[in-house]
Structure 1
Amino acid sequence: MSPRTVVRRAPGKLFVAGEYAVVDPGNPAILVAVDRYITVTVSEPDAPGVVLSSDLLASPAHCRWRDGELTGSAPQDTRQLGEGLAHVAASVEIVNRLLAERGLPAPELCLSVSSGLHENGTKFGLGSSGAVTVATVAAVAAYCGLDLSYEDRYRLAMLATAGLEPKASGGDLAASTWGGWITYQAPDRAAVLDLARAAGVEKALREPWPGFAVRRLPQPEGLALQVGWTGNPASTATLVSGPDRGAWRDTAGYRTFVETSNDFVRAAADALERGDRDTLLHQIRRARQELACLDDAVGLGIFTPRLAALCDAAEAVGGAAKPSGAGGGDCGIALLDAGAAQDIAHVQKRWTTAGVRPLPIRPAMEGNEE
């Protein structure tokens, strides 16, 4: 490998508890990083400019710098930057803003993305956008000689993401950055974008972010994380920003949902830290019930028949299960007795019968790494 080649990877994620409420600053969620990865390789380009490519796309995008932003060299390159490579381009641009503030030139590079969070181009719902953002920030920063802490990388990734998806909580970014089991609270994204615009990216890396917090948690004792994929990709942005959610946020029902979510997330985090398996399972079942109540109240379509069957199968053997993330498809998670191999096999058989594919996924205890 050339000394001017840098490789970084970031794991995907699953939400354990706290979906929907975490979108608002300061509300906690629990996530776990998983051992499926996005890998980003950065090397010297054959010609001046920036070349971005992905194994999910048929052709690379050839770009050049203009006023601190990447622009396509041809119409098809511009389309790629606005679609399949949007998160990659935003990540390269945010690192360039930091370089510019430090008096360093815009980088010229060749960047390629390889995804283990898709199958035949279909996403599993494991946070591919977040993982590619974190891996790209880390790889480009390292290529340019920047020494960034975990929090620096998260903050740059959050700034890049918030510019594209203002409602994104950034929980996937935190899980991909720190790895393992974490509790996370989203910052006020409008405030941090305003800070970066007014005072610069460097200042935004150093100032407190309203609402933001992240803390590592221990793994659950005596429980096995099982993951089932429904085969139906879901759009988190569409579900989180559903047509009825804006009005519902102004109701007493929404405030009750948030209070209840915060209660069971904090109780689940406390149970993880105390090694209290029974309480953890109880709180995950509460999380399922509250998501079902939310679904009934707002009609978001969180629970599909396959996700309901996934949950029922796990609870039938004494476990706990729920949709992971926005629901509507993608993955569900279950926590089952790690010593009950027969129960785990029985649940997986019931999942398969219901059209849910068990995925051989385990927690990734390390986050963004080489």
Structure 2
Amino acid sequence: MAETRGVIATSAPAKVVLSGEYAVLIGAPALVAALDRRVRCRLTVRQQGGWDFRGTGHEMHQRMLRDEVLASPADTLAGIVPQVLRPTETPPHVAVEIDSTACYQGGVKLGIGSSAAVVASFATALSALAGRRCRLAELLALHQRLQGGGSGLDVAAAATGGVIRFETGKAVPVTLPRGLHLRFVFAGHGTATAPMLARFHAWRSGEMPAALRALKHAAGQVAAEASVGVAAAHFLESLALNAEALMHMDDAAGIGIFGPAHRTAARLAAKSGVVYKPCGAGGGDIGVAASDSVERLGAFLADTAEAGLTPIAASIDPDGVG
């Protein structure tokens, strides 16, 4: 975080879910990595002009009076302000600039947790105005009110950075095995998460389906191995089982996690001898390929590019919001 007279600048990383999507909603641990595609926020306290909100990436522009900001509902960006700042701490004139272009590809949202990174960077900047810093629990609550649901794993990744094991609202830093390499590809279109989650919850209502029990076990195994530091080859075996369990659950539930692009990528991954899975809700958005061989990953990326998928330049970001 950078702070000069009247100006506060913060940024927060995006994220990818390496394992545990969907299963995290029934108590399984998820393995989440922060990405070096960061959302940047800049607050400038001014002498006039009220509150001026401008967004790039997610394009938006809104001017509001201070009293309007303080009365904004919690499910809006402006509504974060009165949740973080007391009225006496809220300046009358602030320019808010939020840049999330790193979370888009060709104008299309990548699905890497940009809204969580926006909340983390904006709330952190606001709290700095009052000489405080938001804790993870506060950021989780802010995002929950803004989005109306979700596990919070993307907020935890934005707040913490690096790779975390996320379970029941708590984030524990872990280290991926030495020699493990990750590459990311974009399916070419975004995903509306809410309908997919609705299909998941409708399918799992009542007694837990066998496919979901298997996914929960597989996700727990991946997270456990990341926590104890197993060899890359052993970790990849567990990650492959998790990807297989995720596909089986998708087939059983009809959610659409493995959309056409992800199924193509999974087929090409098997050909190249690497592990592949969608990240997060799936359908579109991005997927991750993992291997202990850079050469095999290179062959996979060449095949996916020929098939119309887009490689995404990104690495794990060790730094959380700041």
Q: CA deviation at 1:262?
A: 3.3
Matches within 5 A, 1:24-43: 24=26, 26-43=27-44
Aligned equivalents of 1:19 and 1:327: distance in 2? 9
2:266 pairs with 1:282: no
Aligned equivalents of 2:194 and 2:298: distance in 1? 34
Distance 1:281 1:341, change over 3 A: closer
Matches within 5 A, 1:134-213: 134-148=120-134, 152=135, 154-185=136-167, 211-213=168-170
Q: 2:97 aligns with which of 112, 115, 127?
A: 112
Q: Which letter does structure 2 place at the counterpart of 1:124?
A: L
Does the Cα contact within 8 Å between 2:273 and 2:296 map onto a contact in 1?
A: no
Aligned equivalents of 1:222 and 1:122: distance in 2? 32
What secondary structure is seen at the aligned counterpart in 2 of 1:129? helix
Aligned equivalents of 2:281 and 2:58: distance in 1? 26
Q: CA deviation at 1:214?
A: 1.4
Aligned equivalents of 2:21 and 2:36: distance in 1? 21
Q: CA deviation at 1:121?
A: 3.0
Distance 1:14 1:215, change over 3 A: same
2:129 pairs with 1:133: no
2:307 pairs with 1:305: no
Q: How many residues align?
A: 317
Gaps (5+ residues) in structure 1? 72-80, 186-210
Q: Which letter does structure 2 place at the counterpart of 1:302?
A: I
Comparing 278-287 with 36-45, greater Cα deviation is found at 278-287
Q: Which letter does structure 2 place at the counterpart of 1:216?
A: P
Matches within 5 A, 1:216-235: 216-235=173-192
Distance 1:157 1:249, change over 3 A: same
TM-score (norm 1): 0.79
Q: Which letter does structure 1 place at the counterpart of 2:243?
A: R
Q: 1:320 aligns with which of 264, 275, 286?
A: 275
2:208 pairs with 1:252: yes
Q: Which letter does structure 1 place at the counterpart of 2:205?
A: R
2:21 pairs with 1:50: no
Distance 1:141 1:94, change over 3 A: same
Aligned equivalents of 2:82 and 2:177: distance in 1? 38
Q: Which letter does structure 2 place at the counterpart of 1:259?
A: R
Q: What is the aligned partner in structure 2 of residue 18 from structure 1?
A: 20
Work out the percentage of aligned pairs sharing the same amino acid. Answer: 24
Q: What is the aligned partner in structure 2 of residue 201 from structure 1?
A: none
Aligned equivalents of 1:299 and 1:311: distance in 2? 18
What secondary structure is seen at the aligned counterpart in 1 of 2:288? strand
Q: CA deviation at 1:361?
A: 0.9
Q: What is the aligned partner in structure 1 of residue 220 from structure 2?
A: 266
Q: What is the aligned partner in structure 2 of residue 91 from structure 1?
A: 80
Does the Cα contact within 8 Å between 1:22 and 1:169 map onto a contact in 2?
A: yes
Q: Which letter does structure 2 place at the counterpart of 1:356?
A: L
Aligned equivalents of 2:35 and 2:141: distance in 1? 23
TM-score (norm 2): 0.90
Q: What is the aligned partner in structure 2 of residue 345 from structure 1?
A: 298
**Runs ≥4 residues deviating over 3 A:** 56-59, 65-71, 256-259
1:293-330 Cα deviation digits (max 9, x unpaired):
22222211111121112122223333211000011101
What secondary structure is seen at the aligned counterpart in 2 of 1:252? coil
